[in-house]
A and B are shown apart, each in its own frame.
Chain A
Amino acid sequence: MREITRLCFVLTLITAVSAGVLAFVSDKTEEPIANALREAKMKAVRQVLPSFDNDLMEDRVFVANEEGDTVEVFRGMKGDSLTGVAFPRVSHEGYSGDINFLIGVNADGIIQGIQILNHSETPGLGAKIQNEDFRQQYRHCSIDSPKVWKVTKDGGRFEPITGATISSRAITGATLEGLKFFRKNYSRITGKRSGNNSMKDGENE
């Protein structure tokens, strides 16, 4: 009985110290991690938007997508006219896990660029969806052009990554879905810059 007490005491002490250390580290790194994540996202947003001079955080809108999730849409403006928008998109069709990426379109719905935010595809194979060579194929495409939104293997025009057709298909499919989302919510996304209050409402939806 005394031995059991001692074993419990030692283990409790070790786990308590670990918990304390982790709480401290987690507290200290919380802000840098949030900053790093936001910085990484905003960097991607800036890369897929056409030129703009507004405050992106100020002018973003929140739109519900077909799955009922709220999507954060960044709007690039020059003066009062909309130059383009950037919004995140998730593909569940990846080889391993979801692929989160960002689609940037101009006001006419023509793709300005896509950026991969995070994924769990195989390093060296599916992970190549991040490469510029692959991503640039989608530039200047829109919902009506090309007619067939598929990889070459399935009769479309997008060149899949060698050995990673599944990942390539996932991006192709999800990009088209993203364009459909943009078209469907066009008025909501491109609507006149509303006051801050209504935007907050949107956030609560």
Chain B
Amino acid sequence: MNRAAREFLKGFWSENPIFRLVLGLCPTLAVTTTAENGLGMGLASTFVLVCSNTVIASIRSFIPKKVRIPAFIVTIATFVTIVDLVMNGYFHALHQSLGLFIPLIVVNCIILGRAEAFASKNPVWISIIDGFGMGLGFTVSLMVIGAVRELLGNGTIFGAGMFGDSYLPLLLMIMPPGAFMVLGVLLGLMNKVEIKVAERAGREPLIKKKHDCSSCVMQGKWFDLSSGEEKVEDSG
């Protein structure tokens, strides 16, 4: 598998933002009341992620290490505001239903995370691919959580009735506790599947038996502290 395909596909499984990295949980828990909201939020985030990755990768040698975080945040906030304005003017109906969540994209740590861990260290083209992969992986995850919650909590998927009128919706699922339950169960299922798949393929599963920092998928790839005071040693 070449590099581009690998960087693109990692967002869907091996480094899925929600289920593997467990990042960006605020929007994940808040917006996934319906599949449609999940899809809209995911696509808006993907747009911001691709744009911010592109800009940050192209000015990465110009930004001094010490002010990189404010520089990234300003860049991200700029794109979020652009999305907010353009959507309000040209896609008013969509903005009405998502309006509340758009400003939330600024504080979505998956976007800052990719800027820090990837775009600030890699060339532009591969950062764009990373942005698309991570963004779409995020979108699919939000949509799946949203679909499950909408189905159980409202008896519909994308607004289409699934169970008929006799179904009494389990309202809890579209309220905050439902978000935690669905996220937890899906995360567990995904780990279970990963262990099975790895066993069959005869490779090490991504989830280690041991529970410390060395078992994290971010180990060695994310938040390289070498520029700071401390170097993270591989303790595994």
- A and B associate: yes
Closest to B169 in A: A162
| Interface pick from A68-76, A120-128, A186-194 | A120-128
B154 close to A (CB within 8 Å): yes
Q: Is the CB of A10 within 8 A of B37?
A: no
Q: Are A26 and B85 in contact (CB under 8 A)?
A: yes
B64 touches A (CB below 8 Å): yes
CA of A70 to CA of B67, assembled, Å: 48
Residues of chain A from 137 to 163 with CB closer than 8 A to chain B in the complex: 162-163
CB of B71 closer than 8 Å to a CB of A: yes
Q: Which residue of B lies closest to A6 (CB)?
A: B64
CB neighbours of B62 from chain A (8 A): 10
Distance in angstroms from B168 CB to nearest chain A CB is 9
A123 to B178, CA, bound (A): 14
B74 sits at the interface (CB 8 A): yes
CB distance from A10 to the nearest CB of B (A): 6
Cross-interface CB contact of A7 among B67, B77, B82, cutoff 8 Å: B67
Which chain A residue has the least Cβ–Cβ distance from B59? Answer: A14
By the criterion CB–CB under 8 Å, are A32 and B89 in contact?
yes
How far is the CB of A162 from the nearest CB of chain B, in Å?
7
Interface: A42 (CB within 8 A): no
Compute how far the CA of A134 lies from the CA of B59 in the bound complex, rounded to whole angstroms: 53
**Interface mask (A1-38 → B, CB under 8 Å = 1, otherwise 0):** 00100110011001100100110011001011101110
Question: What is the CA–CA distance of A39 and B89 in the complex, to the nearest angstrom?
Answer: 11
Q: Give the size of the chain B interface in residues (CB under 8 angstroms).
A: 34
Output the least CB separation between B188 and chain A (Å).
24
Are B67 and A125 in touch, CB under 8 angstroms? no
Nearest-CB residue, chain A, relative to B88? A33
- B221 on the A face (CB < 8 A): no
Contact mask for chain B residues 35-67; partner A; CB cutoff 8 A; 1 contact, 0 none: 001000000000000000000000100111011
A7 CA / B150 CA spacing, docked (Å):
48
Would you list which residues of chain A between 102 and 143 have a CB under 8 Å from chain B? 118, 120, 122-125
- A11 in contact with B67 (CB, 8 Å): yes
B1: interface (CB < 8 Å): no
Q: Does A57 contact B (CB under 8 A)?
A: no
Task: Pick from A6, A18, A26, A123 the residue with the most CB of B within 10 Å.
Answer: A123
Least distance between A11 CB and chain B CB atoms (Å): 5
Contact of B90 among A21, A32, A39, A163 (CB under 8 A): A32
Closest-by-CB residue of B relative to A36 is: B92
How far, in whole Å, are A10 and B63 apart by their CA atoms in the complex?
7
B171 lies within 8 A of A125 (CB): yes
Q: Give the nearest-CB partner of B31 in chain A.
A: A123
Contacts of A3 in B (CB 8 A): 64, 66
User: Which residue of B66, B67, B82, B92 contacts A25 across the interface (Cβ within 8 Å)?
Assistant: B82
> Is the pair A163, B171 in contact by a Cβ cutoff of 8 Å?
yes
- Report the separation of the CA atoms of residues A39 and B174 in the bound assembly, to the nearest whole angstrom: 32
Known contacts being A7-B64, A7-B67, is A22 close to B86, with CB within 8 Å?
Answer: no
Q: Which 8 A-B pairs have the closest CB atoms?
A: A32-B89, A36-B92, A124-B33, A124-B174, A29-B89, A18-B78, A29-B85, A33-B89
> Which residues of B are in contact with A by a Cβ distance under 8 Å?
31, 33-34, 37, 59, 62-64, 66-67, 70-71, 74-75, 77-78, 81-82, 85-86, 88-90, 92, 96-97, 100, 150, 153-154, 169, 171, 174-175
